[in-house]
């Protein structure tokens, strides 16, 4: 891809905006269209685009397999643990109300954390999938 200068420049240019958009979708998700799934995919898309243009290795330099794997597990864990916190606070599983003094704020906080967990997992999974297929060597 060395020769395609336009692609390289455009990619570099777009990269931060895609990330930003992903974060917007992520954090806006609890009171507008959006959420963890979409945000995760968009986030992953930015890295996939990057690695398509600059090579998988350079992308993996930023996000090595270990981190992605931790992301997959960590996101899921975050989601599950939010529920457990609710349990410990005396409410039903995933009933966020008691997470703050005011029920509405608690709900906000809860859904935010859950969506964050989803986002992290989805992004990590998407990237792992891409990297795994892209680096597969036949031998």
Partner 1 sequence: MVDFFGLYNYWIVIVLAMAGMYIVIARGNLIKKLVGLNVFQASVFVLYISFGKVSGGTAPILLKGVVTYSNPLPHVLILTAIVVGVATTALGLALVVRIRREYGTIEEDDIHSQDGHT
Partner 2 sequence: MLREHLPVLVIIIPLIAAPLCILFRGRDQAFGIALLATWGSFACSAVIAAKVMASGTLSYELGGWPPPIGIELRIDALNALILLIVSGIGSVVAPYARNSLLLEYVEDRSYMFYCAFLLCLCGLMGVAVTGDAFNLFVFLEISSLSSYVLIALGFDRRALTASYQYLIMGTIGATFIVISIGLLYQATGTLNMADIAQRLPEHGYDRTVIAAFAFLVIGVALKMALFPLHQWLPNAYSYAPSTVSAFLAATATKVSVYILLRFLFTVFGVQFSFDILPTAVPLTILAILAMFIPSIVACFEHNVKKVLAYSSVAQIGYMVLGIGFVTMTGLTAGILHLFNHALMKGALFLVLGAVFYRIGSCNIDRMAGLARTMPWTMAAFVGGGLSLIGIPMTAGFISKWYLIQAAIEKGWWHIAVLIVASSLIAVIYIWRVIESAYFREPPEDLQNVKEAPLSLLIPAWILVFGNVYFGIETSLPVSMAELAARSLLGAN
Name the residues that contact partner 1, by CB under 8 A.
Answer: 32-33, 37, 122, 129, 132-133, 136, 138-139
Distance of CA 13 to CAs 46, 47, 139, Å?
Answer: 11, 13, 37
Distance of CA 67 to CAs 21, 48, 75, 107, 128, Å?
Answer: 22, 16, 12, 29, 10
* Beta carbon nearer to partner 1, 3 or 138: 138
66 is written with which tokens? 């270990």
Q: Which of residues 20-79 bind partner 2 (CB under 8 A)?
A: 69-70, 72-74, 76-77
Contact partner, 95, from partner 2, partner 1, none, Cβ < 5-8 Å per class: partner 2
* Beta carbon nearer to partner 2, 18 or 110: 110
Which residues have CB under 8 Å from 72's CB, separation 6+?
A: 121, 124, 125, 128
59 is written with which tokens? 């992308």
Contact partner, 2, from partner 2, partner 1, none, Cβ < 5-8 Å per class: none
φ and ψ of 64, to 5 deg: -70, 165
Examine residue 85 and tell whether it contacts partner 2 (CB under 8 A): no
Taking CB under 8 A as the criterion, the residue among 47, 54, 96, 131 binding partner 2 is 96
Examine residue 109 and tell whether it contacts partner 2 (CB under 8 A): no
Instruction: State the residues that interact with partner 2 by CB under 8 A.
Output: 69-70, 72-74, 76-77, 80-81, 83-84, 87, 90-97
């Amino acid at each position: 891809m060395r020769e395609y200068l336009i692609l390289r420049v455009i990619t570099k240019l777009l990269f931060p905006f895609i990330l930003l958009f992903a974060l917007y979708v992520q954090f806006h998700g609890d009171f507008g269209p959006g959420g963890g799934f979409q945000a995760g995919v968009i986030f992953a898309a930015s890295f996939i685009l990057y690695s398509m243009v600059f090579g998988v290795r350079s992308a993996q330099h930023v996000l090595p397999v270990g981190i992605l794997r931790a992301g997959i597990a960590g996101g899921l864990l975050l989601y599950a643990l939010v529920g457990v916190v609710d349990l410990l606070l005396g409410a039903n599983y995933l009933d966020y109300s008691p997470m703050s003094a005011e029920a509405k704020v608690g709900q906000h906080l809860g859904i935010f954390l859950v969506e964050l967990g989803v986002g992290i997992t989805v992004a990590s999974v998407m990237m792992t999938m891409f990297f795994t297929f892209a680096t597969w060597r036949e031998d």
